[in-house]
DNA sequence: ATCAACTTGTGAAGAAAATAACAAAGTTGA
DNA sequence: TCAACTTTGTTATTTTCTTCACAAGTTGAT
């Protein structure tokens, strides 16, 4: 344990951004120290799980004291590579896409939507904030030029696979897929699916079949 | 196994809506039978996992043949209570909220956004499709009158907890939270969090630290 | 100084989920 | 009718994740 080069469990890795954001909140509100119990209350993750998660990175806390917010924050900033800006492309500027364009990922995450694509002529050439909207035809060219490695896919599902193939061709390594389609990609490409209908449906299923809620 | 009243593993329950949708697709395209291997290819879930998932509901397939699409579909329709319409409230008609309003959940899921709420005067009284938009002030009254048990929360995060408290007061049992806030609710209420920034951030983390992708 | 109170980090146990592997049963085509 | 093939359902195994529980270190009040 505590070997920084070792791979962290996936479940832990998924919680890191969450921890990071709440530590930022604490920092902003002037808090100097925090215990795993307090953090647990805030992020709704068992305190033992939090301590275990942190322990993969070594001994970050102090017994009887807790964690120094600043130290932890600095540590995670480095670990999460928050200093290096990650450029993201948004594919499909519909309602969902627009929601992303207006979302300030930069603030906490140092992740920036650098370019967007659509097919609607009236959108092309315009910009949302400082994010220019290109025509889908220019996908490969722009993505390669801007050296973009991550894409958010918010297009109608019937186009999802075709566009995915083009993204893979343009050397994109990660896709956040909001389409109901399940994408086929080479194994070197990572896809995270967020399926809104499935999320809603499974919530409904849990409500009907698991009356006493155990928090997800 | 095969006892319909027993509780299904959570991981399985989360995949059911996905299976259901793909079975619908298969049905629409005229397919009569399907093997776990084929389904696996389509939904990107290991075929053994699919067979295991199905087996919680009994022996739905036939050796050497696979599964009858129609039979499976009918079975899941009943199991997932697809015949009973679930009414949902949407809280916050911004870009993200509007994306939901335009999403036809009814089609596959028999889940319907019945009402929406916002505070912007120009939106109140209007409707998106057949979904009326009410003022946030009328939240409790409308939700109780319409007997709504599920809410989708797409409001600015600073209002999330206050509105959640009101939803709980109006007898909502499940909340799909798109806000970065982690909500505090009584244990009888179920909350599913979908945190867009965390999703994006954790995808970026995986790309940087797990070069050879194991699909999530 | 002393000591009660606090809180971490982790070994051990437990729970949940995924995967492997294969007998049994059914299908298909000759 | 039979042999080759297919595919399930499930048992066993492995992997992953969570939680318990507590020794050991630290704090802070007196």
The token pair that represents A6 in the structure block = 């070792």
Contacts by A9-12 with C-beta closer than 8 Å and gap 24+?
Answer: A9/A56, A10/B206, A10/B216, A12/A52, A12/A53, A12/A56
Torsion of CA A177, A181, A182, A183, to 10 degrees: -70
Greater confidence (A216 vs A19) lies with A19
Contact present, A215 and B190 (Cβ < 8 Å):
yes
Residue B2 has pLDDT above 80, yes or no: no
| Confidence class for position A211, pLDDT limits 50, 70, 90 | low
What are the extents of the domains in chain A?
10-79, 86-198
State which residue has its Cα closest to the C1' atom of D27: A64
Greater confidence (A142 vs B108) lies with A142
**A158 CB contact with strand D at below 7 Å:** no
H/E stretch holding B163: helix B160-169
Q: What is the pLDDT of residue A167?
A: 98
Distance CA B83, CA B109 (A): 9
The CA-based angle A10-A11-A13, given to 5 degrees, is 60
Residues of A within 8 A of B212 (CB-CB) are 187-188
Q: Minimum mean pLDDT among A5-14, A117-126, A157-166, B11-20: which range?
A: A5-14
Residues 30-69 of chain A in contact with strand D via CB under 7 angstroms? 45-46, 48-49, 51-52, 62-65
CA nearest to A86, candidates A186, A172, A154: A172
Q: Kindly state whether A106 is in contact with chain B, defined as any CB-CB distance less than 8 angstroms.
A: no
Strand partners, A192: A176
Q: Kindly state whether B194 is in contact with chain A, defined as any CB-CB distance less than 8 angstroms.
A: yes
Model confidence over B31-85: pLDDT tens digits?
Answer: 999 999 999 999 999 999 999 999 999 999 999 999 999 999 999 988 887 778 9
Q: What is the pLDDT of residue A199?
A: 94
Model confidence over B110-119: pLDDT tens digits?
Answer: 899 999 999 9
For B10-78, the fitting CATH number among 3.40.50.300, 1.10.10.10, 3.40.50.970, 2.70.150.10 is: 1.10.10.10
Residue A16 has pLDDT above 90, yes or no: yes
Nearest nucleotide over every DNA/RNA strand to the B2 CA, judged by C1': D9
Nearest nucleotide over every DNA/RNA strand to the B66 CA, judged by C1': D7
Model confidence over A156-204: pLDDT tens digits?
Answer: 999 999 999 999 999 999 999 999 999 999 999 999 999 999 999 999 9
**B36 CB contact with strand D at below 7 Å:** yes
> CB B205 to CB A109 under 8 A?
no
Provide the mean pLDDT of chain B. Answer: 91
User: Could you give the strand order of the β-sheet that contains B150-153, starting from the edge strand earlier in sequence?
Assistant: B127-128, B131-135, B111-118, B86-91, B150-153, B174-177, B190-193
> CB A207 to CB B174 under 8 A?
yes
Q: Identify the CATH number of the domain defined by range A10-79.
A: 1.10.10.10
Distance CA A146, CA A133 (A): 14
What percent of chain B is modeled with pLDDT above 90?
A: 83
Q: What is the pLDDT of residue A6?
A: 63
Looking at domain A86-198, its CATH superfamily turns out to be NAD(P)-binding Rossmann-like Domain (3.40.50.720)
Greater confidence (A215 vs B54) lies with B54
Distance CA B147, CA B25 (A): 31
């Amino acid at each position: 344990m505590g070997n920084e080069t070792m791979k962290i469990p996936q479940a832990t890795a998924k919680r890191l951004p969450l921890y990071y954001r709440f530590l930022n909140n604490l920092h902003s509100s002037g808090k100097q120290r925090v215990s795993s119990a307090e953090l647990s209350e805030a992020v709704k993750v068992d305190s033992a799980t939090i301590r275990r998660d942190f322990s993969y990175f070594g001994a970050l806390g102090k017994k009887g004291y807790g964690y120094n917010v600043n130290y932890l924050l600095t540590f995670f900033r480095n670990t999460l590579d928050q200093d290096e800006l990650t450029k993201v492309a948004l594919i499909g500027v519909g309602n969902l896409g627009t929601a992303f364009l207006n979302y300030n990922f930069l603030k906490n995450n140092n992740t920036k939507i650098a370019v967007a694509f659509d097919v609607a002529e009236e959108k092309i050439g315009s910009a949302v904030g400082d994010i220019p909207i290109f025509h889908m035809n220019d996908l490969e060219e722009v993505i390669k030029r801007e050296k973009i490695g991550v894409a958010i896919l918010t297009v109608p599902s019937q186009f999802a696979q075709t566009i995915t193939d083009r993204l893979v061709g343009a050397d994109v390594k990660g896709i956040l897929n909001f389409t109901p389609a399940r994408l086929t990609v080479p194994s070197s490409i990572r896809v995270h699916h967020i399926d809104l209908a499935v999320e809603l449906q499974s919530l409904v299923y849990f409500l009907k079949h698991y009356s006493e809620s155990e928090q997800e």
